[in-house]
Structure 1
Amino acid sequence: MASQVTRLYQAVLRDREPPISIRLRRTFSEWTEAKGFPPASAARARTEHEAGGARLVMERRGGGCGRYTLGEPVAGGVLRTQVTYAESVPGMTGWVVVTVEQHGGREPEAVTAPGFLPAYLRTARITDGAVHVEDGPVVLDETEVDRFVRTLADPRRRVPAVVVSVDAQRPEAGRARADHLAAALTGAALVVRLADLRAQDRFNETLGERLGVYGGGVRTYVTPFDPAGERYPERHLTMGGPRLRAQGAAALGVVVEGALGRTARAELPDDVRRTMGAVRRVLSGTAELSAIAAAAAPVPAPVDLSREELRRGMMALTRQPVPPAAPETASETASARSAAAPLSTAQSAVARPGAAGPGASGTAAPGTRPAAGQGSSPGPSPAAGPVGGAPALDVAGLVRAVADAVVKELRGELESALNLAASSASPDDEPGLLLREIRILGAHVAGLRDIVAERWRDGPPPVAGEAGAPAETRAGTRAEDEPGARTRTRAEGEPGAAETREAPAETRVEGGAGRLRREHLFLQKEYADSAAEARRLAWQVRRLERMLTEAGHPAYGAAPEEDVFEPTGLVDVLVRARATLRHVSVGDTDGPAARLDLDHPALCRTWAAKAWDALCALDDFAGARSSGAFSGGFYDWCANGADGRRTIPTGMLAMRESRSVTGSAKFSEPRVFAVPQEVHPAGRLLMEAHVKLRPVGYPAPRMYFHDDSGGASGKVWIGYLGDHLPNTRTN
């Protein structure tokens, strides 16, 4: 009779970075070496070893898949740890399935995660398909609560989340419990520790009274999870603080057993289940590696013939409407009959070949016209205009047509031509500079088009020379400079004379205001130049420190190699960020940024420098957090800056909006921006965190972002860079 098999542990890990085999073999071998086995051999496809009653089999097939099996004796049976992996193929992300099973024995052993998993999880960004699987506990501060709640409610989440609350009686107990749980549940669950009482209060307030955790307790949130519609909160088991303090490790063991039991019984994802059988056949030699790719291809859904027939019938009923013929006057018919007939017939022959009937030669005799309803579609009618006068010029339509042509049609051709020019440039040139400048120019043209469209939306402005037009628009002259203006003023008598005498005072006031405006613009330019010079000097200091370090003076520290980038505007920053920052993704915000560049050319350089510093700091932060080198939020990153870490002053940061903004659809909706579905299933989310490029005054530019560095994408997403969005003080 076959021995009883009990699965005690299962982890399904997604690994996007090939090759999986090298990192997995190294970390697994280090773990088995500590158990007395020799190092794994990369040259042999299959190896078998025995040590201390345990047996190890490691097998692989090329670079596509492999399986490691370790059998260790236990009371009355064998504890078998098996690791199966498959590299990424088209249509499937690479995966690693880790299982621990007990064969035989009376009682199931108390197991924890295999010891190689923490080291393997540190080699790349490993997920369960939606959630980043960490090698240790995640510390959750107040600013990260909303993101974590969204992670809990993500329908793609497969692993349970174990949340450790704050123990006010024993402040260090929470840290120790989280470390213990993370070591036991590595790969099979996400362990989160609330950093302080503020984070705990925000977490409980967000989830509600029946779903919260407090008092030093631990709660396991299983899947699926919907805080708004949860009908059975008891599914998410809680281990109270008093029991944890009284029983210690035994109570934590109950939490571990419950979480591992959930994942051990879980079904494999569809693509893993399909390819697992192919991997087994490949390793047994009964199939080729191509069988994995074939199994990974999704099975096409069967075609519903009735629905397809309905779709075809509806498409058959769809026809392009025929425009009505333009009416003609008798005089137009008499004067244009001879000239229009050959053209109309030729157009009819081209538009409807064979429509003339059998024997038609494709041309018509002079003087003939198609009958109404039988000939070709009428040609475009001339623009309607006043009777007896020239056609009226549609200025608004012309502006829109030109702007659309430049932005939509010519931009692609310009980029293609510049790509060709850049590829043929000399080695001393900077090919990317030309392309970056055309993209900036394109964004500015698009911004101008939007401005023009907005101003025409309420009706066209008065044309120069028309009644109601401003004086400065009439032939570019002021009212007092028009011919006869001075003569009319003198001929109007004493009132006009009095106005003439008062004119010099008004002129002096206007001249003084103009002088102040010019001085203000000059000071803005000087400030921008000073800020740029300060940035250049800071870069020079970092370069000199690096030279001193290389010369044998390590006390000065070492700064990373970097190019000096002096942005000319906000659009320049966006283009540069998309090209160079790996952990920051910039959304569709070129329009608002271009408008600030165009409206405030003197100030945009200063804002651009601050925006670039913030983006670089976000990129460094996201890289550190996604790799596990840092576990806090962006505010902590900037508040506790270390050597070599790019940060910005915390005074520029606002991690949340006020309740008056988030509680009002009028104000919160403008702060909802697009993100990929891997970040949020709806493809859009509310972004509260923002960088204040100018704290007060007008304009006050803002850069809104969403931190998913600890989520599935491992990036920070920029949703908006532009003028201050509406709030209770602006509207």
Structure 2
Amino acid sequence: MTVTTTLPHADAVSLADQQLADWLKREGCEDPPPAASPLEASPYAVDPPVTGPSNADSPAGPQVERLRLGDRVLLDRDHGPLRGSPATGHYSRRRLRTPAPHGTQQLTLTIATAAAGPTWVRLEAETHTTGSGLRTPCRVPVPELARSLLPLLDATDGPAAVQLAPRVITAAEVDDLIDELCDPERRLPTVVASVPVNVPVDGWTESVVRPLCQQLPGLATAYVLDPGARTGFNVALEYHTVYGGAVRTYLPEVDPASRYDGARHPVLARGRIEQDVRRAAGLLAREPRRLAAELPLPPVLAAVPVLRIPPSQPRPDAASCADPVAARAELAALAREEQQDRAEQQARADELERVRRTLRRARRTRPGRAHAAPGRLCAPSTAPVVGPVVGTLAGPFVGAPGVPRTTVLPDPVAGPDDNPDTFTELLSRLGEFPLLTFTGDQKSALALDELQCAGAGWARLAWDGLTALQEYAEAAVRGEAGGDFKQWCEHTPDGCHRFPPRKAVRGESRTVHSHTKWKRERMLPVPECVDASRRAFMGAHLRIGGGRTAPRLHYLDDCSGSGRIYVGYIGLHLTNTRTN
């Protein structure tokens, strides 16, 4: 959680300490002694103040203390000037470690204030596991401290108030909400929920939206559109609409005038929500959690030095030692070692921050970024194009001849067998296909979710087709595909995903080509690097449903050019001689 507050630094720290002490008391831990003022030396310091290398010019470095409040319960507290100079600002930090099943839970609260500007508050929750007690990774729940602090801090994210519960928006407030979505200072995602027709707003909010947003406090702002607001909102945001009980997550930097930007902002369909609200809440929290870990820190928080607890073992006393010269030499050696360790830790933290800034800058500047969902390549670029940062970097991907090498980080949001049941989820997960770019209008795909007769079959079959297209594209850019996609389906290599060859169609009939209106329907969007007109005929398609009017997925194979496949349409069968 990263938010701001208008409270003075000392008041914010006092509130945080009080809430932390209350929680420790409820958990049966000892009460921590009062913390020293951020501008005073700590009387509980376990060691003389440790000054990091970047604070060498500061008259007073970080003041550090460690308190043991129970069995395996440790509270570390430090405060001091931000890196640079005392005039830059100051910070206070609390790190609490408590036992957890198969490991340790760690909670880090950092409050930093620059010489001029608001007070920043950052809360990080982690679970460190040991041994093989856990078979699968666990999701760290929203800390109780976040829920108790948010209302007291009057927390904000740019122009938005960060609240615990979703707020109902009326027609008179739509303009303010749109301004908030488009504000360049917004860091947190904004979740907007619609209400089904003829369903009371209050009842839907309490029974569905509130449980759905249980994992969002501190990670996103949430709103519910009443019927009047829904109309005005969807008229103003033609390419970013939400309706029918669906919930949409608006990532930072919304471009309301861009059709392609709409694909960046995932939609959770009503059917998926009502099927299992608890699982839907986990799906809804994926993007906010990813952004919280991936976004670069604000400059004020980036200037906070790393936390390093001094060694607790006693040091040699030069005055009482038999050989004072040797004791002084040992003290100097220990000081140099501590200085070096702190410098290495700070260098690793700074490198992580540089990576975050590089990733963000690459997404902002790469050509055609609005055409892609988060984490997808869109067009060849000289800048490194990467996906969500989760764990470690993947190896380099070698594109087609003339296409620069790029690094691709797949988004591990689902296992290989976890096919989407709806097109809403399918569109939100297109980032899992780094060589496919969806350039079409998502409305035609989302409309398929409303056709209940199909169940989940259409979305699952479309996902199978996209998976096979991705594997084909990987081979094609290496020159190892052995033909077009239909040939790939007829002779799928061992270990690759198989898609039925009869459902892969190379192109449209001569009648469709010669019919002006029908051909125009299949002239679908592509980047300028593919065609200067930004349109190209996509006759190749996949049959993702049975029957002559069932859904189709149209695509353009440009692996020999830009090294990508462009999906221009997912929806009901386009017009031909057999449709009506």
Class of the TM-score when normalised by the shorter of the 2 chains: 0.3 to 0.5
Q: TM-score of the superposition, structure 1-length normalised?
A: 0.35
Higher strand share: 2
Q: TM-score of the superposition, structure 2-length normalised?
A: 0.43
Structure number with bigger Rg = 1
Higher helix share: 1
